[in-house]
Amino acid sequence: MSTPPSSQTPSEATPSHLVLQHIEWRTPLPPPQVLQEYQRISPDTLAALLRMVEAQQTANRDYLLREQQNALTIRCKEENTRRLWLAVFALGRLFALCIALAGFALCAYLAYLDYPKVAALLCGGELAVLVYGFLRGKATAPHEDLPADDPPSPQPPQAP
């Protein structure tokens, strides 16, 4: 048995191959072989690529610098706010001390003028308010020895 004659010529019967190549690089500029191919296609390609890389690096550097400046500005504002709060808190304590001393001086003067009941009543009331204020102030005052925005460090889990 013979095979039927084919209508294709031997050159048409050979299979053709398609080659697909993928090149990837992690640097701003392509490898020298690729650059040579670019230069072969267009002579001013290398200069244009270098300008693009320099512009991108400048933009990246400016962006990072702006981010660092913004973070520093925010940190400075937070620190200034914390210091201002501590100053206001200290000033409030100083005014409270002045008012308390003036009240005790008034009590002593009233006792000197022979008004002991009024002096005792005023001094007792003032002492009660002062004790309550200092106790309440201690409970709500920020701790000056701890950083304001650092959370306490978590303890490592205990092994059983």
For the chain, what are the domain ranges?
29-140
Residue type at 27 in one-letter notation: T
Higher-pLDDT residue of 85, 8:
85
Task: Give 75: exposed, middle or buried? Use CB within 10 Å, 0-12, 13-18, 19+.
Answer: exposed
Angle of helix 116-140 versus helix 45-112 axis, rounded to 10: 160
Does residue 8 surpass a pLDDT of 80? no
- Measured CA to CA, the distance from residue 107 to residue 121 in angstroms comes to 9
Q: What is the mean pLDDT of residues 62-73?
A: 94
pLDDT band at 34 (very low <50, low <70, confident <90, very high): confident
Structure tokens at 71: 């973070």
pLDDT at 155: 57
